[in-house]
């Protein structure tokens, strides 16, 4: 009877650890989804800026609006302790995120600010997309340089 109690106790004590592991995995998956959606919309704008995709004001405005919407989400909250590239194989998040959380959040705020006004700014022709893309891309790069593992 004692072994059954010990096994039951061990299983109950392990549940929080399993829940945390699941939460970490879900956080990384959510981050990947967020970055994928951001990348799809950035790609749409990049294609138009480069002339690889025909300029379409409605599509450019929609892509920029999607980016604005994404930046309203609290994506830094998805960067939970224990989900760095040193902790998980599927993570590209550098440990520096948790060493400099205020700077990390500030860089996300800078992306939000870069996105503000972009739906209007991309209107009027292909030539207007490039400057918006540079502003957005610069904000992305500033964060990736410090907080994303190199490929």
Measured N-to-C along each axis, helices 2-50 and 57-72 cross at an angle, to the nearest 10 degrees, of 150
The number of residues making up the chain comes to 151
The pLDDT-based confidence of 96 (bands split at 50, 70, 90) is very high
How high is the pLDDT of residue 114? 98
pLDDT of residue 64: 98
| Higher pLDDT pick, 14 / 65 | 65
- The tokens for 13 are 């004590």
Other beta carbons within 10 Å of 96: 14
Please give the pLDDT value at position 151.
75
Topology given in CATH for the domain delimited by 2-147: 1.20.120
Binning pLDDT at 50, 70 and 90, where does residue 10 land? very low
Query: Where along the chain do its domains lie?
Result: 2-147
Cβ-Cβ contacts under 8 Å for 119 (sequence gap 6 or more): 61, 64, 65, 68
* Category of 117 on φ-ψ map: left (φ > 0), alpha (ψ -120 to 50) or beta: left
The conformational region for residue 73 under phi > 0 = left, psi -120 to 50 = alpha, else beta, is beta
């Amino acid at each position: 009877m004692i072994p059954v109690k010990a096994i039951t106790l061990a299983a109950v004590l392990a549940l929080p650890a399993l829940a945390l592991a699941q939460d970490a995995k879900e956080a990384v998956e959510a981050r990947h989804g967020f970055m994928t959606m951001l990348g799809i919309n950035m790609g749409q704008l990049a294609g138009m800026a480069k002339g690889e995709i025909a300029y379409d004001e409605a599509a450019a405005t929609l892509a920029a609006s999607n980016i604005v919407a994404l930046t309203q989400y609290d994506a830094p909250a998805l960067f939970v302790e224990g989900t760095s590239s040193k902790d998980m194989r599927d993570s590209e998040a550098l440990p520096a995120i948790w060493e400099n959380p205020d700077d990390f959040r500030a860089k996300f705020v800078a992306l939000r600010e870069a996105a503000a006004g972009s739906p209007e700014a991309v209107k009027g022709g292909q030539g207007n997309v490039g400057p918006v893309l540079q502003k957005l891309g610069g904000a992305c790069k500033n964060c990736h340089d410090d907080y994303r593992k190199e490929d």
